[in-house]
Amino acid sequence: MQDKTLTCKDCSAPFTFSVRDQQFYAEKGFENEPQRCRDCRNARKTQRGNGAGVREMFEAICAQCGVPTTVPFKPRGDRPVYCRACYSALAPQPTPA
């Protein structure tokens, strides 16, 4: 493997797809090369809300144990909300293969 120079599809600037990045992509099973430079990827993530922004959290009371907790969604009141411990205990456990 060797470094590759690719062209960003958003800003048309050349960027390096390093050997290290190629190895990372291979380990993750990614089949396609990146289409955007690091700056455009970061800008796109931020635009979509997946960037480094702070996620809004909401206060709730656990339906199982009654402990105050915070959750990353606004509880609607029509479904139970659980704290992390109770949710983990209620979540289906994976079956061994």
Range of the domain at 15: 4-48
**Do 70 and 41 share a structural domain?**
no
**Do 70 and 39 share a structural domain?**
no
- Total domains, the chain: 2
Whether 17 has a pLDDT exceeding 90, the answer reads: yes
**Do 62 and 42 share a structural domain?**
no
In a domain, 95, yes or no: no
CA torsion 32-4-44-12 (nearest 10°) is: -120
**Do 73 and 39 share a structural domain?**
no
**Do 12 and 40 share a structural domain?**
yes
Confidence at residue 50, expressed as pLDDT on a 0 to 100 scale = 52
Confidence at residue 91, expressed as pLDDT on a 0 to 100 scale = 78
**pLDDT band at 94; cut points 50, 70, 90:** confident
In a domain, 26, yes or no: yes
pLDDT digits (tens, 9 = 90+) for 25-84: 999 999 999 999 989 988 888 777 654 556 788 999 999 999 999 998 999 989 999 998
Whether 93 has a pLDDT exceeding 80, the answer reads: no
CA distance 61 to 80: 9
Which ranges constitute the DSSP H helices of 51-97? 84-90
In a domain, 44, yes or no: yes
CA distance 74 to 60: 9
**Do 15 and 34 share a structural domain?**
yes
**In this structure, which amino acid lies at residue 4?**
K
Q: What is the mean pLDDT of residues 10-32?
A: 93
Which position has the higher pLDDT, 97 or 48?
48
